[in-house]
């Protein structure tokens, strides 16, 4: 699937799913055409999907193949969200070996680990409600875009979003702030905007562009991580997601 999925500067779902161009123009849903009321940027891992099984297995393989001690189960959870090279460095991998572990990780992840993943119950209902209210929805993830696109396709997320933005599949430095910068390029700077994410990287990356972040507690953040990073609110359950977005964006 990944080989046949279009990945350019960003992936925009083809007509028949979403016809928005990802830049704040009009969008058609059935017989209704409207301009987005606001933009909601959505993190993927730990926010829309529970991707821990595939990520933890791939990380475990990378450490084992390199002859390094495998992180504990609790430490493995911290790999969900941040850029992969950053996580390897944070867990003691020597800088000169990071590329080796990234390559080993991706071999297992691309072979099937990326699909050991599931959408959180209630998330698609929340996205459907936000689309009904006229929001433009865009995935902004630190996961390489070449993986994020087929994952969203496989898990049924693509029909609900106007674009999928991710990191490059190479060792070019990337961050959540850079992904969000790409997602915002060409959009109306006066539109209402909100990030939704489960880690401090989402909060800080959005803040770099003056965008507030709604935190979700069902992901992989450490206790108080989201609050300390500056999330404007944190919700505990997926059925609280759409109402919180509506309130924060005054929809």
Give residue limits of the domains in the chain: 2-50+118-248, 52-115
Q: How many CA atoms lie within 13 A of 232 on its CB side?
A: 16
pLDDT at 14 over 80: no
Domain 52-115, classified CATH 1.10.260.30, yes or no: no
pLDDT at 155 over 70: yes
What are the residue numbers of the active site?
43
pLDDT tens profile 91-150: 999 999 999 999 999 999 999 998 999 999 999 999 999 999 999 999 999 998 999 999
pLDDT at 21 over 90: no
pLDDT at 25 over 80: no
Looking at the DSSP assignment, which residues form a beta bridge with residue 196? 42, 214
pLDDT tens profile 60-103: 999 999 999 999 999 998 898 778 888 999 999 999 999 999 99
Structure-model confidence comparison of residues 25 and 11, the more confident one: 11
Q: Which residues lie below 8 Å from residue 32, measured CB to CB, with a gap of 6+? A: none
| Cα separation, 229 vs 211, whole angstroms | 13
Any idea what the Cα angle at residue 159 is, between residues 220 and 39, rounded to 5°?
65
Phi, psi of 194 (to 5 degrees): -150, 135
Q: Say if CB 171 and CB 190 are below 8 A apart.
A: no
| Cα separation, 61 vs 88, whole angstroms | 13
Domain 2-50+118-248, classified CATH 3.50.30.50, yes or no: no
pLDDT at 173 over 50: yes
Phi, psi of 196 (to 5 degrees): -125, 120
Provide the pairing of β-strand 193-197 with 32-34. Answer: unpaired
In 133-226, beta strands by DSSP E: 136-144, 163-167, 193-197, 213-216
Which band of pLDDT confidence, cut at 50, 70 and 90, is reported for residue 10? low
The phi-psi region of residue 250 (left if phi > 0; otherwise alpha if psi is between -120 and 50; otherwise beta) is: left
Q: Model pTM?
A: 0.81
pLDDT at 212: 98
Considering the chain, what is the average pLDDT of its residues?
86
Q: Which residues lie below 8 Å from residue 96, measured CB to CB, with a gap of 6+? A: none
pLDDT at 2: 31
Q: Say if CB 217 and CB 234 are below 8 A apart.
A: yes
Percent pLDDT > 70 in the chain is 84
Neighbours of 126 (CB within 10 A): 23
Q: Which of 3-17, 66-80, 122-136, 159-173 has the lowest mean pLDDT?
A: 3-17
Structure-model confidence comparison of residues 124 and 14, the more confident one: 124
pLDDT at 80: 87
Residue 70 per-residue DSSP state: P
């Amino acid at each position: 699937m990944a080989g046949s999925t279009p990945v350019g500067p960003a992936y925009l779902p083809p007509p028949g799913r979403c016809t928005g161009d990802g830049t704040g123009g009009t969008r058609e849903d059935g017989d209704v055409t409207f301009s987005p009321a606001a933009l909601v940027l959505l993190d993927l891992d730990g926010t829309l999907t529970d991707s821990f099984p595939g990520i933890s297995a791939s990380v475990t393989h990378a450490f084992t193949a390199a002859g390094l001690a495998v992180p504990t189960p609790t430490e493995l959870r911290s790999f969900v969200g941040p850029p992969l090279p950053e996580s390897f460095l944070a867990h003691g991998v020597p800088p000169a070996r990071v590329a080796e572990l990234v390559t080993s990780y991706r071999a297992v992840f691309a072979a099937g680990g990326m699909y050991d993943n599931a959408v959180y119950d209630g998330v698609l209902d929340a996205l459907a409600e936000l689309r009904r209210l006229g929001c433009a929805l865009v995935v902004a993830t630190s996961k390489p875009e070449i993986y994020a696109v087929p994952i969203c396709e496989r898990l049924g997320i693509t029909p609900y979003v106007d674009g999928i933005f991710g990191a490059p599949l190479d060792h070019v430095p990337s961050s959540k702030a850079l992904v969000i910068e790409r997602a915002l390029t060409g959009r109306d700077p006066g539109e209402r905007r909100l990030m939704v994410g489960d880690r401090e990287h989402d909060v800080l990356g959005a803040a770099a562009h003056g965008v507030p972040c709604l935190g979700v507690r069902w992901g992989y953040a450490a206790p108080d991580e989201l609050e300390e990073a500056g999330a404007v609110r944190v919700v505990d359950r997926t059925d609280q997601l759409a109402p919180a977005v509506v309130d924060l964006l005054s929809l």
